Every structure is written in C-alpha cells, then in structure tokens.
Amino acid sequence: MSYRKRIAALMLVDSLIVLTAIFISHFLLLPLANPFTAILFVSAIILLVSHHVFAYKYKLYQKVWQYASISELTGIFKAITLSIIVTGLVQLLFFQEIYLRTLTITWMMHVLFIGGSRFSWRLVRDHYINPAPPKNQKNTLIIGAGAAGTMVARQLQQSQESDMNPVAFIDDDTTKQHLEMLNLPVVGGVEEIVSTVERLKVEHIIIAIPSLSRKELNTIFEECSKTKAKTQILPRIEDIMSGKVSVNQFRDVQVEDLLGRDPVELDIAGIKDYIKGKTILVTGAGGSIGSEICRQISKFEPAEIVLLGHGENSIYSIEMELRRTVSDLTISTEIADVQDREKMFSIMSARKPHVVFHAAAHKHVPLMERNPEEAVKNNVIGTRNVAEASSEAKVNTFVMVSTDKAVNPTSVMGATKRIAEMVVQHMDMISDTRFVAVRFGNVLGSRGSVIPLFKQQIQAGGPVTVTHPDMVRYFMTIPEASRLVLQAGALAEGGEVFVLDMGEPVKIVDLARNLIKLSGYTEDEIPVVFTGMRPGEKMFEELLGADEVHSEQVYPKIYRGKTPEVNINVTYELVGEFEGLSKDQLREKLLDIANFRVGEFRVLSGVK
C-alpha cells in the first residue's frame, strides 16, 4: 500500500470510530433520547477535527504499526485525551454544559477501538503473516533482559530465517527474575545458566549486555563454558546502529573479550595536535605493532606517513591497505634495515619527520637466546642508529616501543630492549629531540604472541603446549598497544618510560584453556601439556622496577616511570666489542649491563 493510500485508510478508519463513538455513548446512557441534537452534532464535528489535528501532531499516521510498542500507545492516549478535552471545552463555551459521562465513555471507546485497530496489525503479523518457528530451531538462552536482550529476543521471534528459538532470559536484576518478558521467563541470575541449559535443552547462548565489563564477561563465559551450548555475543551497538551488522548477526566470543580489563580511553585532541599536518615516520612499519601504529596514525590526518621496514612484502601489504582505506593519505615507503647507519641518516635527512615511532626490533625470546649477536645488532645498534639520525634531523619527538621484559631482564631480548632504553634515555639528555619509551606486556595476535601458536596447535588437533602452570603475563590488544604508543608521544616531556595499568596478569594456562573452549573443543579432545620453562623466560613480568615507580597517573590508567641513571659508555663499549665474544659471554655481558646501575657500571668497566 502506498504512503498516501495508507494515510487515507487510517484517517477513514479513525473518522468512522470518532463519529460513531459519541453517538453510541449517548445511546448507551440515554437509549430513548434523541441523539441528533445540536450539541451532539457540534461535539462530533469538533471531536473529529481535533482528533485529526492531534493525530497529526503525534504522528499517528506515520507510525509503522506492525512494530507498535508502548511509545505508540502513549501517542494514541495523548491524541484522544486532548481531543476529548477540546470537545468538552467547546460544549462548555457554546452550550454552557458538558456531557461528562458521554465524553468519558467516548474516550474509552476511542482508546479501545483506535488502539485496537492499530495493534491488530501487529497481532495479524505475529500470528498469521509470520509462521510459527520451525521445530528444528535451536533452543536459545539470552543473557541480559535489558533493552539489548529484549531487542534480540524480539528479532529472533520475528525472523523467519533464524535457526534460533529464544526460550528464556538470564539476568542478575532480582526485580526481573521469575517474571516474563515477550512471553519468555527470566529464570534467574548467572548462577542459573548451567541448570537452565540442562533443563530447557539449550543449544545456543547469546550474551546481550553491551555494558558488560570484561571482568563480568569473564564470569559469565566461565559459567557458559561449563555447558555444551555454543556461546556468542551481541555485536557492538555502534555497528548495529551504523548498519554494518544486524542485531541477529552474533559473533563468537574472542580472547580479546576476556582480558579482564577495559580499554584505556585516550586523549584524542592531544594526539591529533602533534600528528595532524606532520610527517610521521614508523620503523618496523610492516610488523604487527608497527602496522597498527600506522593505521592509528592515519586517523589523525598526518601530512605524510613514511613506512620504513626491512621486509618488502610486509611494507607493501600495509601500504596497499592504507591506500585502500585512506585514499587522501600521502604515503612513502623506505625499504631499509635499521642496522644500516648511513641509510638511517640519509632517510632522516631527506624526510625530516616531525615524529618517529621506533617499532623495529627482534622480539622472540627463545630465538634471541640462541642468536644474541643479532639481538644486539637490531635492538641496540639499530635503536642507536635511528635515535642519533633522528636527533641530527631535529625530529621533535622520538617514541621507542619497549617491553615489560626490559624490567630486571633474564633474557637476551629483554636485556637488549633495556639497553635500547638506556640509549634513548641518554639521547634525551644530549639532544633537543624528546626521547621516550613505552612499555607494555604481551600483545594478543602479534607475531610473537602465544595466541597464534595456540590456534595452530588446536587446528592440528593438539596438544596445546604451556611452559609452566603458574606462568602469568600481562596482555593487551594490538590496537590498544598502538594507541598507547601514540598517547605517549602526546604526553612526552623527554626521558620517560610510559606504562599502561594492564590490570591483573593472566595465567597462560587459563588463556590456553579459554582458547580451546572458544574453538569448540574440550580439554578431553585438545589437552594442555606442560613443557617446562625455556631459557630466558620468567615466571612473571613487571612493567616497572621497584626504583622506577611513580605512583601518580599522568593520564587515566597510564603511569610514568623514570629509569635510573646509567653509564652509556659501558653500552657503547659493548657495541664495539660484541662480535669478539662467544654467545655465552655476550649473553652474560648483556644481562650484566641491563641489570646493574651506575656505581656497578663503573666497577664493571674500570671507570673511576
């Protein structure tokens, strides 16, 4: 039915109800009296006109009544009530009396018949147009009986294509428990998940609480994982509202959802202030962290992004992605190794970047244990080359990506990253460029993360290997780690080490078990095997050493650490002599330098 025909039909139905209701009301009260009096005739005309005026005001003819709800009923109530009041005022003004009982019955008949005519459309749609759910649908439990949960339930009930049949709600709100919503019982709180799944033969669980913190999601998922039901989560509300996905396009719960810590909100204005209109250079731009830094930078309207990396394929990949997603972005590429000192100075001189994000590094702990000389070349010498070239090119801000393994390091990788921090700290003292470092824990999904390894092991049928049952790590997502790096540049005054309040550390074995469950397996099918700690590994990591901690936050959930004073001569002596050392000697030397302070440096180096 066309828009105009639809409005004409609704107005005709309303007109018939309005004109007949007042006469029927008069007849019910005074069945023997003459209904065709002047006051009733005028009242009918006024009632008809005022009803259409208020119906237009409250858009009763523009509503999609097959989706009618309380708000539509409220509009009907207001329009009818106001039209009755206007009619009563006209009766009083021109006839000096009000047919109060007649108008009261008329009001009730209007609410009944006009409201009924609208809501009957929804009744017809729900019970006659849309067939009953097929019997082969999966019984579905919805966690969350709020606005999102009821939206999901209604969508599933109305959808002819969905294979899910909602059977109950779970909600911790005690005022809703043991009641019904959309003809579905609210059976209880989170503690009732397991028993409800068994009792109602639930095959699917939908978590529909957008406001959940990650800690709360962990608690719910832990209960859901005790059942055999498939667990999914509602898409993000902004994705639903923007039309990217519909409400019934649920997604699987990801490891990132279970970190137990909410993302840090960043100072967007501060970041944009030092990036917009500037040339930004990123080393290691093809890596997991470096490429995400480039994606984040592209949102802040830089004049140019220079992608510097050693691997041509990875640089080409991020270049093509950025050109596809940000069409007006100026992008330059440099295939170069940070160990090539002359090339670094040449690039910095030619590009003259305003900000340098130094993400190039060797990060794999066991590999660097076996190849300590390569860790020195890339992590120490490479950092020194890029830092000194940045200083000479008068770069405004230099941000180095570091790691929690640089704190009291026990591995070659951690030691070389700590020494790289020393280089950066020294450069800040002698240069006009602001030099800072950013430490964070393990990054989910990065090339050095355990997550890809665990996924490969699960796909291969297991087992999933974990080094020690008590080993814990801090975790964050790649986008969050990259945004922290950008935020550090905005906060930088020079010489700081910024760290993120990463919440509670996560047991690696718990992470492995969650991944097994998220992949649809049990530990009986994919076992977890403990292999023993590898060389250089620690049982737990720290983000700041005891003598580095500044208790105040410089930004919500971001702390500043001031690393202790170091003797840079020892570091640079190492650079000159490392090729003459055996692997074991080099490893020992690196750990000595990274873990000792100024006074002890002097003893080690013979400096008085």
pLDDT tens, residue by residue, 451-505: 778 888 888 888 989 888 888 776 777 777 788 788 888 888 888 888 876 666 7
Q: With a cut of 70, say whether residue 217 has pLDDT above it.
A: yes
Buried b (16+ CB within 10 A) or exposed e, 475-511: bbbbbbbbbbbbbbbbbbebbbbbbbebbebbbbbeb
Q: With a cut of 60, say whether residue 85 has pLDDT above it.
A: yes
Q: Among 330-339, 363-372, 454-463, which stretch is predicted with the lowest mean pLDDT?
A: 454-463
Q: With a cut of 60, say whether residue 317 has pLDDT above it.
A: yes
> Rounded to whole angstroms, how far apart are CA atoms 6 and 360?
65
Q: Could you tell me the domains of the chain?
A: 3-129 (no CATH), 138-253 (3.40.50.720), 278-443+474-501+543-602 (3.40.50.720)
- pLDDT number for residue 508: 82
Q: With a cut of 50, say whether residue 232 has pLDDT above it.
A: yes
- pLDDT number for residue 72: 73
Report field, pTM of the whole predicted structure over 0.75: no
Q: Which sign, positive or negative, has the C-alpha torsion 225, 226, 230, 232? A: negative
Nearest to 498 by CA among 387, 401, 385, 593: 401
Find where tokens 């309040």 sit.
501
Buried b (16+ CB within 10 A) or exposed e, 570-608: bbebbeeebeebeeeebbebbbebbbbeeeebeeeeeee
**Higher pLDDT residue, 551 or 84?**
84
Q: With a cut of 60, say whether residue 177 has pLDDT above it.
A: yes
Q: With a cut of 90, say whether residue 598 has pLDDT above it.
A: no
Active site residue 583: no
Mean pLDDT across the chain: 81
Q: With a cut of 80, say whether residue 585 has pLDDT above it.
A: yes
Q: With a cut of 80, say whether residue 360 has pLDDT above it.
A: yes
- pLDDT number for residue 447: 56
- pLDDT number for residue 599: 33
Q: In the predicted model, what is the mean pLDDT of residues 245-254?
A: 61
Answer yes or no: are the C-beta atoms of 361 and 379 closer than 8 Å: yes
Give 379's pLDDT tier (boundaries 50, 70, 90): very high
Answer yes or no: are the C-beta atoms of 150 and 124 closer than 8 Å: no
Choosing from 63, 363, 405, 538, the catalytic residue is: 405
Q: With a cut of 50, say whether residue 252 has pLDDT above it.
A: yes
Q: In the predicted model, what is the mean pLDDT of residues 502-511?
A: 75
**Higher pLDDT residue, 117 or 357?**
357
Q: With a cut of 60, say whether residue 21 has pLDDT above it.
A: yes
Q: Is 354 strand, coil or helix?
A: coil
- pLDDT number for residue 597: 45
- Strand 397-401 and strand 434-439: the pairing is parallel
Q: In the predicted model, what is the mean pLDDT of residues 181-200?
A: 91
- Strand 184-185 and strand 180-181: the pairing is antiparallel
Number of Cβ within a 10 Å radius of residue 139? 16
> Rounded to whole angstroms, how far apart are CA atoms 557 and 266?
10
CA angle 331, 335, 337 (to 5 degrees): 130
Per DSSP, 526 falls in state: S
**Higher pLDDT residue, 511 or 205?**
205
Answer yes or no: are the C-beta atoms of 180 and 115 closer than 8 Å: no
For the stretch 278-315, pLDDT in tens is: 999 999 999 888 998 999 899 899 999 999 999 999 99
For the stretch 438-454, pLDDT in tens is: 887 766 655 556 777 88
- pLDDT number for residue 35: 72
> Rounded to whole angstroms, how far apart are CA atoms 261 and 111?
51
DSSP assignment string, 138-164: EEEEEE--SHHHHHHHHHHHH-SS--E
> What CA–CA distances, in Å, run from 23 to 105, 109, 155, 429, 445?
10, 11, 42, 94, 74
- pLDDT number for residue 186: 92
- pLDDT number for residue 602: 29
